[in-house]
Amino acid sequence: MNRARTTLIVAGLVVFVSVSAWLVRGKEHILESGRKVLLRIEQRDPRSIFQGDYMWLRYPLAREIEAYLPHDDPPSRGTAILRLDEDDVATLSRVLTNATSSDEGSKPLDAREQRLRFRVYSDRMITVRFASQDYFFEEGLGEVFAKARYAELRVDSVGNALLVALCDENLARLGT
């Protein structure tokens, strides 16, 4: 009985470590090979008593996507097709949801287009989220990050995104 229990515990740990490593590797791949996308941001709440200095981000793009969605029965997720300008600043081109034809979602994109996956949360109102809504930074750098106007994301070909930096109005990274 003791040997079986030990084997089960070891097997569980191996599975846990393997899945964790696989998830981390997936994020590293997005950081290494993902496309740079800049999204306009609005800042909120630059400090948390319990967590230190951070900025809660609100993306105007999320509100644009929310306007496309049906409010009576919103989808749980979807994909935004973004158009990138010469500086990689994104604007919304169109929104694909599970109600949208799967043919359109698999069409090749133009060179200046990028997919961005999003999740929809609805209680009394619809909220769209993608990447991260929080950006943590070293204590005392609040004034530096108060200049943030853009979030720099790395996005893979299917639209999975990671927040990597905040940028000022000139698109220069802050805090580096």
Task: Write out the two tokens for 45.
Answer: 């709440």
pLDDT tens-digit readout, 114-153:
999 999 988 778 889 987 888 888 777 878 888 899 999 9
Which 3 state secondary structure label does DSSP give 30?
helix
Pairing mode, strands 134-136 and 126-129: unpaired
Domain coordinates in residue numbering, the chain: 1-33, 35-167
DSSP string, 105-117: HHSPPPTTEEEEE
Exposure of 83 by Cβ count < 10 A (0-12 exposed, 13-18 middle, 19+ buried)? middle
- Tokens 């097997």 locate to 11
pLDDT tens-digit readout, 48-97:
555 567 788 899 999 999 998 888 888 889 999 999 999 999 999 999 98
- Distance separating alpha carbons of residues 3 and 175, to the nearest angstrom: 53
